[in-house]
Amino acid sequence: MRGYASFLAARIRVLLQYRAAALAGFGTQLFWGLIRVMIFEAFYRSSTAAQPMTMDEVRSYIWLGQAMLILVMWGPDTDLRDMIRTGGVAYELLRPLDVYWVWFTRCLAQRTVPLVFRAVPMFVVAGLFLGLGAPPSPASAVAWLGATLAAILMSAAFATLISLSLLWTISGEGMCRILPVICWVLSGLIVPLPLYPDWAQRVIMALPFRGLADTPFRLYLGHILPSEALPAIAHQLVWTAAMIAIGRLMLARGLRRVVVQGG
Partner 1 sequence: MAAVTVEDLVKSFRVAERQPGTWGALRGVVRRRYRTVRALDGVSFELQPGELVGYIGPNGAGKSTTVKILSGILVPDSGRCEVLGRTPWRERVANARDIGVVFGQRTQLWWDLPVVESFELLRDIYAVPHERFRAAHAELVELLDIGPLLDTPVRQLSLGQRMRCDLAASLLHSPKILYLDEPTIGLDAVSKLAVREFVRRLNRERGVTIILTTHDMDDIEALCRRVILIGSGRILSDGPLEALRAGVTTERRLIVDLADGTGPFESDGAEVVHREGARVHLRFDPALVSAPELIARITSRNAIRDLIVENPPIEEVIARLYGEAGC
> Which residue's CB is nearer to partner 1, number 98 or number 228?
98
> Which residue's CB is nearer to partner 1, number 27 or number 87?
87
d(CA 171, CA 76) in angstroms, rounded, equals: 8
Least distance between partner 1 and beta carbon 254 (Å): 13
d(CA 169, CA 42) in angstroms, rounded, equals: 43
> Which residue's CB is nearer to partner 1, number 89 or number 166?
89
Element (H, E) at 74: none
Least distance between partner 1 and beta carbon 103 (Å): 14
Least distance between partner 1 and beta carbon 89 (Å): 9
Which three-class secondary structure state does DSSP give residue 51?
Answer: coil
The 3-state secondary structure of 110-172 reads HHHHHHHHHHHHHHHHHHHHCCCCCCCCHHHHHHHHHHHHHHHHHHHHHHHHHHHHHHHHCCC
Least distance between partner 1 and beta carbon 160 (Å): 19
CA distances from 68 to 116, 187, 206 (A): 9, 12, 21
> Which residue's CB is nearer to partner 1, number 31 or number 91?
91
Binding site for partner 1 (CB under 8 A): 2-3, 5-7, 10, 13-14, 17, 86-88, 90-91, 93-98, 256, 259-260, 262-263
